[in-house]
Structures are given as C-alpha cells and as structure tokens.
Amino acid sequence: MQKRKLGKSNLEVSAIGLGCMGMSFGLGPAADKQEMISLIRAAVERGITFFDTAEVYGPFTNEELVGEALAPVRNQVAIATKFGFKPGPDGQRWSDLDSRPEHIKQVAEASLKRLKTDVIDLFYQHRVDPNVPIEDAAGAVKELIQQGKVKHFGLSEAGVQTIRRAHAVQPVTALQSEYSLWWREPEAEVIPTLEELGIGFVPFSPLGKGFLTGKISEDTQFDKTDFRNIVPRFSPENRKANQALVDLIGKFAEQKKATPAQIALAWLLAQKSWIVPIPGTTKLRRLEENIGAAAVELTSDDLRQLESAASKIPVQGARYPEEFQKLVNR
C-alpha cells in the first residue's frame, strides 16, 4: 500500500484509511467486538496505517475497540479521533456541541485512556461549535500538542472561513468532510482552500454510505437503528433516481476489470495527492476490495470520461436531514 502525506504536515499514512464508526454505531447493530478486532488487525497486516474513530461513536465503545485492536501495533499506525459533541445523559449521541477549551482537554484525557495510548495522532473538532470561537478551540488543541498529548489538529465539516481562522492559530493538518462521486460540493471552495493552505483532505463516506458499491437498491431494507433511514438521499424514490450514477460507475468498473467501489475510491485518489479516503466496513472481503482500489490506475482520459458522464446525472436528495445539515459548513 503506498503512503500519502496529509498536506504540508509530516503525517504520512496509507493512501486508504479505515473508518471504524460502523463497527460500533450508526449503520445498524454493533458488530461482534472480537471479529472487529481481528478485522482491524487484518487491515494493519495489509498495509493500512490510518484508523478513524470518535468519542461519540457508541458513545465511547468504538474508541475502546480501536484502542484494544491497535495496542499491539500502536507504533505502526496513526489513530484519528474527535471531540466536540457532548454525549447526553440519556445516551443520546448528538445532544449538544461542546468545544469549550476545558471540555476539549477532558475529552483528550478520556480518549487517551480508551485508546490505550499516550498520544492522539490526529485530533479533529467533530463539528464547529457556534458558541465557542474557533480560535479558542484551536488554542486548546495547540496546548495539547505542546504537552505531547496530541500530534496534529483537524477539523470536520468546517466552512472555509473557519478553516482559515483555525489554521492561523494552530496549523490544521487535515479536514475531514464527505466527498465522493455523488457529493462534490467540496470542489467549489473547500478543496482550493486546502490546497492553498497545505491542508490534507480525508473524505468520509467515499462510497456514498455504501450506495456507490452497487449493493444497495430501492428495495434494500435498513435495520431500524441505521442512520440511512433518516437521510433524504436514501429514500426509496431517491435511491431509484440515483441508480443511474451507480450504473455509470459499474460500466467503468467493467472496462477496468475492477469493482464499482474500487472505481469510486480510485477516482478520489486521482483528484489530489493529499486526499486519503477512509471507507468503513465490517467485512474482510470488502476491506480487501477497498485496499485494491489503490492499485486501480485511472488515466486522465478515464477521468475526463467519468467527469463528463457523471456531470449529466443530477443526484437526488439531501445528504443529511435538516437538523444535521445545519451543523456543517459553519
């Protein structure tokens, strides 16, 4: 697996990372913990060195899983986790935002324990807190970096003005936001800003929450705990309308003797040398399929054809319900 540097930082990671959220939370019931530990270790054996989690996934259980799985190989990997939500007393996971500096420091200490480590490689603000100046949040992470508890600062789903303000206080190593062939909004302002400032980009949901794999149809039924049930883009009628994009990617996949998922990931890798997607999975065969995307070569001609065809297919449905949409691009 080739390596990539996130922007101008010295954080070098595998070209494809592993998003661990779905192992514990968000996409149906939590998977078996021992099986997921085995899967994470299988990822390391196959060259993945970049693992993504957050305190709110579970809450807390995903960090514990990642910490236990990676403890034997801790010096070979980079672990990214996140602060900024305040898990509610009733277990409600998205109850409040809290990026007060004192809270950030408490989260860091708790995450270090759960992750069984003495340093967090990349500490993201999970969502921008409108009640706390971004300079204060960046300053708190800067102190954690000075204390040796954190190596790099990241932002998630932040708008360009916030990115600039944060970067002026503590250089931002990476922005994590959704980006894929069916969510291309970052191309307008975010990607040019990251390029200008030398910040890496970590796309989550690079396979469109599974849709771009071609394994989801308008008839697919999700578990009642699956977040996709409330995503407008995943309504049956929108899935039916959006199938045209999956069919297009499928045609390219056949030509390249690859899978649709591999084409979707290879497309992202071809956009910029400092983009590192983090597809998630709970299955070894999917992990291996995703890793295989790094070996798929898309020529400039391939990319032009894919761009041209994809631009004629309008994607239907919002990517978030309204309550979540208002938390992004602040």
Residues marked active site are found at 57
Cβ burial of 323 (10 Å; 0-12, 13-18, 19+) is exposed
Contact between 51 and 73 (Cβ < 8 Å): no
Report DSSP letters for 166-219, one per residue.
Answer: HHHHS-EEEEEEE-BTTB-GGGTTHHHHHHHHT-EEEEESTTTTTGGGT---TT
Q: DSSP string spanning 31-45?
A: PPHHHHHHHHHHHHH
If you search the block for the tokens 């990822």, which residue do you land on? 43
Token readout for 197 is 């400032």
Residue 26 CA, distance from chain mean position: 13
Angle at 145 (CA atoms; ends 117, 154), nearest 5 degrees: 90
Q: Where are the alpha helices (DSSP H) in the chain?
A: 33-45, 61-70, 101-114, 134-146, 160-169, 190-197, 236-256, 260-271, 284-292, 300-311, 322-325
Q: Residue 30 in 3-state DSSP?
A: coil
CA atoms of 155 and 205, how far apart (whole Å): 16
Tokens standing for 14?
């595998």
How far does Cα 164 stand from its chain's mean position?
Answer: 21
What is the torsional sign of CA 321, 62, 266, 214? negative
